[in-house]
């Protein structure tokens, strides 16, 4: 699907499969504790456990992921 966006006086054409992106953005496994990386803080390990990053629009704050515990036999 092609959508046209207005950028000031310029028209920009974006060719993206929006339906596929929407499915990827909301498809999380119930036991997925890894979360989604924070787009506003890419240099950190902050993750959004509740879905995609919405920091730029006043969404919930990200969390630092819990330390992974290594199980030894």
What tokens were used for 33? 């504790």
Query: Quick check: pTM over 0.75?
Result: no
The DSSP line for 15-50 is: E--HHHHHHHHH---TT--S-EE-SS-TTS--EETT
pLDDT of residue 1: 47
Residue 17, Ramachandran bin (φ over 0: left; ψ between -120 and 50: alpha; else beta):
beta
Model pLDDT for residues 24-53, shown as the tens digit of each residue: 666 555 555 678 899 999 888 899 988 899
């Amino acid at each position: 699907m092609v959508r046209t966006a207005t950028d000031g006086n310029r028209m920009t054409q974006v060719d993206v499969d929006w339906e596929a992106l929407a499915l990827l953005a909301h498809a999380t496994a119930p036991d997925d504790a890894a979360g989604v990386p924070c787009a506003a803080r890419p240099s950190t390990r902050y993750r959004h456990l509740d879905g995609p990053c919405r920091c730029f629009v006043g969404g919930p704050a990200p969390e630092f992921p819990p330390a992974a515990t290594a199980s030894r036999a």
